[in-house]
């Protein structure tokens, strides 16, 4: 399995990180503060999770004044979709 797949699976394996990513997919761009209010973890923890998501290419950040806005990058899921499609033949 390519390293890209491993990174995406590892990144999305964490339930808090996955919930943050899902929220961005469903609700669109949000600030760290808005994500923290719904995450049930501290702001530093949310920021750390967002950093991991960004490193994996799953989110993008945009700075506006003192706030950072994050949005999901759905195209980053393409390798997982391809892998799932390939593996579906064995199920």
Helices 3-13, 15-27: axis angle to 10 degrees equals 90
Considering its fold, how many domains does the chain have in total? Answer: 1
Query: Residue 70 domain-assigned?
Result: yes
Q: CATH number of the domain that 7 lies in?
A: 1.10.10.10
The reply to whether 21 falls in a domain is yes
Q: What percent of the chain has pLDDT over 70?
A: 98
pLDDT digits (tens, 9 = 90+) for 58-70: 999 999 999 999 9
Q: What is the pTM of this model?
A: 0.89
Averaged over 12-23, what is the pLDDT? 96
At 63, give phi and psi (nearest 5°). -95, 135
Residue at 68 is within a domain: yes
> Over the stretch 18-47, which tens digit does the pLDDT of each residue have?
999 999 999 999 999 999 998 889 999 999
Q: Is 35 within a domain?
A: yes
Report helix, strand and coil shares of the chain as percent, to nearest 5: 65, 15, 20
Residue 50 domain boundaries? 3-81
Query: Nearest 5°: CA angle at 51, between 44 and 4?
Result: 150
Whether 90 is covered by a domain: the verdict is no
Which letter does DSSP use for residue 28 in this model?
-
């Amino acid at each position: 399995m390519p390293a890209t797949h491993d990174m995406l699976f590892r990144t999305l394996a964490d339930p808090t990180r996955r919930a943050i990513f899902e929220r961005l997919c469903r609700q669109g761009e949000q600030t760290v503060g808005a994500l923290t209010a719904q995450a049930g973890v501290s702001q530093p923890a949310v920021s750390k999770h967002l950093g991991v998501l960004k490193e994996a290419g799953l989110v993008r950040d945009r700075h506006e004044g003192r706030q950072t806005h994050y949005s999901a990058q759905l195209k980053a899921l393409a390798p997982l979709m391809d892998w799932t499609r390939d593996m579906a033949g064995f199920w």
